Amino acid sequence: MTLRGARTLAYDFMKRAEKQRDPGLFTFRKAFDEWYAGQVYQNEKVKQNVKNRLVRSIMPELENIPVTELKSPMVYDCLKPIENKSETVRKTLSYVNQVLNYCLARGMLPSNPCLPLGRTSPAFR
């Protein structure tokens, strides 16, 4: 087996393992749901836009990841495909940071692992 093949196999294994985590853990999805329920929006359209941005770009890969295991490269990988849509990336990253800051305020995280992402690419600012 080549090194590239082994890396691909390992990556696929890690992705499958991430999706089979203990459902009792406080996942990004649970954190989002709690944070989202406490938000006040100017109208229903804005509220739905916030949810749609995260459901489309972030949730497919990260919803079952415990917030304590979330790393900035994971979020970066989710945002990379839409990097050419700078406003969408900026807003989506802002919402991710708000969810993680909520976790930080609740004492579930020692720090927000995604804060450095805003400085990595012009599209992320």
**pLDDT tens digits, one per residue of 21-80:** 555 688 999 999 999 999 998 899 999 999 999 999 999 999 999 999 999 999 999 999
Whole-number Å distance between alpha carbons of 85 and 9: 31
For the record, the structure tokens of 1 come out as 């087996």
Q: What domains are there in the chain, each with its CATH number?
A: 23-124 (1.10.150.130)
Name the β-bridge partners of 66.
Answer: 27
pTM tops 0.85, yes or no: no
